[in-house]
A and B are shown apart, each in its own frame.
Chain A
Amino acid sequence: MTRYLLRRLLGAIPLVLGVATVVFFVIQLAPGDPANLVLSPGMDEAVIEQTRENLGLNDPLPVQYVKWLGSLAQGDLGYSLNQRRPVAAVIGDALPNTLLLSALALGIAFLVGIGVGVVQAVRPYSVPDSVLSVVALFFYSMPSFWLALMLILVFSYLARNVWELPIWFPSSGIRSSDFDLMSPGEQLVDRVRHMVLPVTALWLVLAAGVARYTRGSLLEVVGQDYVRTARAKGLPERTVILKHALRNALIPVVTLLGLYLPVLFSGTVFIETIFAWPGMGKTIFDAIGARDYPVVMASSLIFAGMVVVGNLIADLLYALVDPRIRYE
């Protein structure tokens, strides 16, 4: 098992480097460069030249590439051209925010999604199944940015200003303006309140997909001989479904998890923008727009790494849910 893990991780290094290399050259193909963006009327030629020189933009591309690789080998991700601070600090600020948001959303989505899928599959084509199907399809087909705006409308604006409910949720940021003046207990409550809407906007859409997969997969498994055997030998229905059938049915769901992991790392641009959540999605988006090459490169590296890790986790989970799968 350890050898397998090691092999997989070592094998990922050339892959990740390959991705980074492609990104490095492709982004340089896009027109516009960082030095251009600092130009303004009245600016001295010498200043422009100095800027290009300082940014290392006067080096030929291969030289820039080798320099970048060299710094990377020393663990130096360089400086953000846009934010004017080390890339490590930029990512260090944004990544934890995104991971918190994603991990929570993913966790809730899979718990709720699998639960709903099981309830549906136990009594297929019943009224609860149909209702849940409609609800799941409703959220599954909804663009997440629209859902986010509706959540804000209902749980921030309407709840507070129109219905004047005692509980409403803030629409932006990860903490209140008064956060620094709060006691630790209040700070915790404040952070949780700010998390509710963005996490909900994410998990609702994800859970709907998970529920569809779980239902379909479980229905298929329930029809199989070994489940009939389990029932025939008198096992309670609960044990049959949760212990025998579900484990088998989870394999496609685990595949889904492997696919969602990296997407959640990078794919929350809309949610982060709408809820003013200072995370990676927004950071990458801004960096690409500003031709902030060092941040784009570092993010691509991390993203590629997350894809590898996501797939690895999925593969390991296969072994967990299906004893027939073993890794040597």
Chain B
Amino acid sequence: MTLRPLSPVSVLTACLVALVACGDAGSDAAAPGATGAVARTADFCGPAMDAVAAYQAEVAGSPNMPGPAERYGGTAVVGGIGELQGGMNSLVSALHETSQTQIFVNLMTLVQVDENLEPVPYLAESWEVSDDATSLTFTLRDDVRWHDGEATDAEDVAFTFTRANDPETGFPNAAFFDNYTGVEVVDARTVRFGMTPHADFMDPWRAVAIMPEHLLGEVPASELALHPYGLECPVGNGPFVFASHRPQESWTFTANPDFPVGLGGRPYVDRYLYRVVPEPTTLLTDLLTETLDVYINPPPNQAAQIVAEEGVDLLAYEWRGFTFVAWNSRRPQLADARVRRALTLGTNRAEIVDALLVGYGRVANSSVPPFHWAHASSLADVDGFDPNEARRLLDEAGWVDRDGDGVRENEDGVRLSIEMKYNEGNQVRQDVGEIMQAQLGQIGVELQPTVVEISTLIEQMTTSRDFDAVTIGWVTELKVDDTDLFSSNRSEEPWAFSGTNNPELDRILATLQTVVDREEALPLWQEYQEVLNDEHPYTFLFYPQRLAGVSGRMNGVEMDVRGDWLSAKDWWIDPAERRQR
């Protein structure tokens, strides 16, 4: 499980390479004992699904099929470790795996991004930004219909925006819209947003799927989280129509014959299934026995087996996450930036990438990942493994082994002893702990890896701050905003667990989010990453690649930093290779 919600900024991925599925805990408006919702299920889902069935029957006879006829048909089955928590309701769920399915399979976003991460039309056929970047006007396609036949219009877009910004909804990514001020429906196909200037103002429209106003408009914001729509009867407008959801087991979608020709028309495969398989070994077996066509996110130690197997391919692509050790600078051992840097220098991160990621990743030195336009590539090779420099820095900072026990102390006799916590069930992070323990022992640092159950760990990081160091990961969006992590005026907020207090960082963080022009912002981003590296609140370990095992019979499967199911509507299977049915 990725631990919760994606934030606009970043998401804590507690189990990037999870061996156990971590629970995505938490509803935003669970009223215990609210039996009303049970009745609502029947009231809402019955008619909604009937309407979908009726409309689908109507359009089934004249599908939009502009592609080569032999490509149409077959079932694509993908498998992943966890349930799609929260389902197809983009207002209450932001788990990465779930939102992937929302934006590429069942629902639509206003724009998508091309391989250069520049926005391209999707639900919106065009958009216009005012010269001062305070107003953004979208013109929608006129041929996108919800799966029950209703047109997708400006009201749907305004509804999604309004609900997302209503605190009662509990939308986990409200910061997506930090720089947005309001919405106005101009006409059925035109919607205008007010905003304050920002370099990445388009990012939310790539990430947040538009929801159906005609179905959910009457639902009070506080009831959206528990509404049966998301899990039991989603009515989307994307390339695939919801067919069924068996909790903890599978999601089934069927091709939408009504999907606009201008966007490629009906997907090639008849059916798209997502299967929940909690154990990686089983997932691998399923892929090799062709029970699955796509196995998303296998751990790196399975890569060799996937590569070796005939008829199965391994995709490795850039990913928006990174794994790091956060140092708690409130602790006397870790208050000095020189000590924190020495801990990085004393750790052979290149070896960690080679050994634990089997080379599927690279050493990280910044919170802005390499795919991002503002990534400082000048930092790529800094702070390589250099134990002598690490020893020198520790000496300089006043940490010397005064009693000859092999562990350094400062003048007050505080030992340079650090407890490093990681979440239970994550083998890579456990191994990182053991490697660092051995390597930092060589430079006179006592590092003690400790396993902690995930819920407890989050509580200790975000609330009680009861930790010296923690190994964990973030997933960023295309818009990066580290204010919540490193700004000193947020130091009491949950995510400022490193306790960073650096006036220069504060200044840059405050300015960064207001510069619209990328050319102009770039030097500032460069400076930010350099200052961050000087401050060294984290030891950035690596940017892992995301992996996928794909059956050889699948054609047109593309995955990259934009998402796993990026090309799902273009997947096709040769008729001879399809499943029997």
Which A residues are closer than 8 A to B by beta carbons? 30-44, 46-47, 50-51, 54-56, 67-68, 71, 76, 78-86, 90, 93-94, 149, 152-153, 156-157, 160-161, 168, 170-174, 176-178, 180-182, 273-276, 278, 282-283, 286-287, 289-292, 294
Contact = CB atoms under 8 A, between A and B. Distances in A.
Nearest to B285: A171
Given A35-B26, A44-B174, A50-B167, 7 more contacts: A39-B494, A78-B33, A82-B23, A93-B247, A152-B281, A172-B79, A290-B455
Given A34-B26, A282-B248, A177 B273 contact: yes
A121 B495 CA distance: 65
A60 to B, nearest CB: 15
Nearest to B283: A172
A278 B33 contact: no
Given A32-B459, A278-B247, A289-B453, A51 B175 contact: no
Nearest to B243: A180
B7 A41 contact: yes
A40 B24 CA distance: 13
A104 B58 CA distance: 45
A86 B228 CA distance: 10
A156 B31 contact: no
Nearest to B226: A84
B581 A178 contact: yes
Nearest to B276: A276
B176 to A, nearest CB: 8
B252 A287 contact: no
Contacts, number: 260
Given A43-B174, A67-B32, A84-B86, A34 B25 contact: yes
Given A32-B455, A178-B579, A181-B581, A55 B30 contact: yes
A54 B26 contact: no
B172 interface: yes
B113 interface: no
Contacts of B281: 149, 152, 274
Nearest to A87: B32
Contact of B291 (A43, A83, A170): A170
Contacts of A276: 249, 275-279, 282
Interface in B169-205: 170-176, 178
Interface string B550-581: 00000000000000000000000000000111
Contacts of B5: 38, 40
Interface stretch (B9-17, B376-384, B391-399): B9-17
B524 interface: no
A38 B4 contact: yes
Nearest to A41: B484
Contacts of B20: 273, 289
B26 A51 contact: yes
Contacts of B457: 32
Contacts of A34: 25-27
18 contacts: A31-B456, A36-B462, A42-B176, A47-B171, A50-B29, A50-B170, A82-B23, A84-B30, A157-B285, A157-B288, A161-B289, A172-B279, A275-B282, A276-B277, A282-B248, A290-B26, A290-B455, A291-B455
B37 interface: yes
A67 B32 CA distance: 9
Interface size band for B: 35 or more
Contacts of A55: 26-27, 30, 32
B325 interface: no
B30, B172, B174, B226: most-surrounded residue (chain A CB, <10 A): B30
B218 to A, nearest CB: 19
Given A93-B248, A180-B244, A42 B481 contact: yes
Contacts of B580: 178
B225 interface: yes
A170 B286 CA distance: 8
A79 B25 contact: no
A278 B243 CA distance: 19
A106 B230 CA distance: 37
Contacts of B170: 38, 47, 50-51, 54
B8 interface: yes
Contacts of B92: 84
B456 A157 contact: no
A82 B85 CA distance: 8
A182 B579 CA distance: 12
B6 interface: yes
B474 to A, nearest CB: 9
A40 B32 contact: no
A160 B33 CA distance: 49
B462 to A, nearest CB: 6
B516 interface: no
A93 B456 CA distance: 29
A79, A82, A273: most-surrounded residue (chain B CB, <10 A): A79
Contacts of A168: 289
A268 to B, nearest CB: 13
Contacts of A273: 20, 278-279
